[in-house]
Amino acid sequence: MTDAWVDGSFRNNTAGWAFVVLEDGEYLCEEYGTDVPPEFLSHRNVAGEIFAVLKLLDFCGENDIGAVNIHHDYTGLQAWAEGTFKSNTVLTKYYKNYVASSGVRVTWFKTESHTGEVWNEYADKLAKYAIGALDKVPALPGDTEERAAVRRETGGDPENGGPIDIYSLKHVDLRSMLENKQKEKTAGNKETDKEAGKETDKETAKETAKDTPPEAAIPQPVQDIPQMAYELPPENGTTPAEAFGSAEALAKEERFMEAWQLLKPFMNNTLSDDRVAFYLKCMTGASPELARKACSTAEKCLLMRHDSRAIQKELVRALFKGFIEPCLVAPALTSEDYENGRRACIKLLEISSTSPSVMDKVLPFMRVAFCAGDRAFLSGIKTRVDPGVLSDKPVRLGGGLYSKRREFLFLTGAL
């Protein structure tokens, strides 16, 4: 049984990819790199995730591996391959076709990132090392850093002296592959015209076309994919820098609606993470209705930038402002509002169940659930959260002493 862990990373306009392969539970080989064509860098870390799978499938094809279990922490890899997510770009369309036509039977396993799963963490470190985010070569699980350095330098096991990477690896150059395919097609058309010499009879051409199987559809070389841009064209004479500068001044005065309306024409996937996060902050601060829209916008942005802490932070804020806070202040809570708040809490815990700031937003809704007698929800929270992440520092409240941890234990029936 062949298992592989894949991961991607992005830094300084460079996308990195990595995979590690195990055979029957034993380490077999690994590979990492940054050879992602510049046309696809607008996909950021997602390009690295996709190329990790492309490289892995090519490796499997070269070495007669007919089936592989792919462990991944990015949802889009499985969703694009199986059609759950719509493939809207050249890269994702190519990726879907490549997986389907690779001849390798893939079984997908979703792994939560940064949860301590050793091979997922190792693939993550390899991808980060590829782009220079780590100074030292990551060690194999159980290796020391010194042994890892020797292994990289010599290409072998420092204890047994033998090679570790027992398969040769072929690199996938997607851009060259597409360009060469187009050149072959163009050259073939010219050669056909030359040999014919004369215009082919229309009826003969029709019969020939019937007998000729259609060429497999592949994405054509892309001429219109924009390069990563850091400044958009002026909108009504205003540059993005001027718009964001004015919006920041408005935000300091808590005039979020005006700030959001000022930034709305400039919202674009080419904005930096910090600017996207500030745009979301303005939406969230403007009104609960816009905060709910900010949740949807943030989730779409995180499909492309799932490692962006700034955008994740604004998603947390938007979920609270749009769905949980209205439940806390509503004079009469409707069942729809309650269900929305409940789902928002579950989403927050999916983002992080160990973050004190997340728990600060979940805990107030737990009081509402307690009053509503929603034991099933509170039991689910109890299994997801370690009470140790909550502060046990007592504060005086309502004439008594109170701590977040003790309240959590009380609400979940553990106290």
Task: Tell me the average confidence (pLDDT) per consecutive run of 10 residues in the chain, 415 residues long.
Answer: 92 91 84 88 90 93 90 91 87 90 91 78 90 79 61 48 32 45 62 54 49 41 33 56 89 91 81 88 92 89 78 92 90 88 91 86 92 90 87 74 86 78
CA–CA distance, 199 with 201 (Å, rounded to integer): 6
* Domain boundary assignment for the chain: 2-135+169-174, 272-411
With respect to CATH, is domain 272-411 assigned 1.25.40? yes
Q: Which residues contact 85 (CB under 8 A, 6 or more apart)?
A: 76, 79, 92, 303
| CA nearest neighbour of 5 among 23, 22, 20 | 20
Q: Which residues pair with 9 in a beta bridge?
A: 16
Q: Which amino acid is at 204?
A: T
Q: Which amino acid is at 23?
A: E
Tokens 């674009």 sit at which residue? 268
Alpha-helical (H) ranges within 36-106 are 45-62, 75-82, 90-101
Alpha-helical (H) ranges within 83-173 are 90-101, 118-130, 145-154
CA contacts within 13 A on the Cβ side of 203: 0
* Distance between start and end Cα atoms, the chain: 46
The secondary structure element, H or E, covering residue 152 is helix 145-154
Domain 2-135+169-174 fold is: Nucleotidyltransferase; domain 5 (3.30.420)
pTM for the complete prediction?
A: 0.48
pLDDT at position 193 is: 56
pLDDT at position 143 is: 62
pLDDT at position 178 is: 46
pLDDT at position 282 is: 94
Q: Left if phi > 0, otherwise alpha if psi is -120 to 50, otherwise beta: which for 348?
A: alpha
